[in-house]
Structure 1
Amino acid sequence: MSTEVWDCVTRAPFGEQASVFTIVRDGDRFTGSNVAEIGELPVVDGRIEGDRLVWKMPTRKPMPMTLVGKAVIEGDRLTGTVTMGAFGKAEMTGTRRG
């Protein structure tokens, strides 16, 4: 297993949200968390497909829903989207720490 920490920004319809996205890789799966001002969201059902990540994050704020993240890693850069139910999609970018 290996751990990566990313400083991310998600551009949601209600504003930008800075977060720390932690990925704990275990083969072609991963767990971790995304910690932002609104709280900590656990990563569930994380899958690694080459340089692509797909994951879910259950949340209760602003209402109960499951966010779905998809991203591509190129070197120390992460780019992708987070689908937020009725709130649509938000762009997510990140830079690897370390």
Structure 2
Amino acid sequence: MANVDGKWNVTVKSPLGDQQAMLDVQSAGDSFSGTFSGGMGTSQVNGTVAGDTMTWKMDISVPMPMTLDCQATVSGDTMDGQVTAGAFGSFPLTGTRA
């Protein structure tokens, strides 16, 4: 299983422009919890880790209330994945360990 613990500088390429955030993760076995904090606010995250893949959901209220489905593959100190925002589609997510 990949080491996902710690702080990650994350960028989501959304229709509203690049969204910079800090993903702070603490794992426990095959699950994790933490926070996703950026210009649009802070969301609690809870998810799972399977091999080198993290999967989680997070609720946002800005620019409108919705639940985002997130998935990222961790390789050392980088992550690559996507954020799916329902009918709005999916957007690339990248990150580096802080």
TM-score (norm: length of structure 1): 0.91
Deviation at 1:70, TM superposition (A): 0.3
- RMSD of aligned alpha carbons: 1.2
1:19 maps to which residue?
A: 21
2:69 maps to which residue?
A: 68
1:28 maps to which residue?
A: 30
CA distance in 1, matches of 2:27, 2:42: 19
Deviation at 1:3, TM superposition (A): 3.7
Sequence identity (%) = 38
User: Is the aligned partner of 1:82 residue 2:93?
Assistant: no
2:53 maps to which residue?
A: 52
Instruction: Please tell me the residue identity of whatever aligns with 1:59.
Output: I
* Structure 2 residues not aligned, in runs of 5+: none
1:93 maps to which residue?
A: 94
Equivalent position to 2:12, from 10, 13, 27: 10
Contact 2:78 2:96 in 1 (8 A): yes
* 1:17-74 CA-partner distances (Å, limit 9, x unpaired): 0100111101100011110101001103x00001000000011222221101000000
Contact 2:40 2:63 in 1 (8 A): no
Runs ≥4 residues deviating over 2 A: none
Deviation at 1:13, TM superposition (A): 1.4
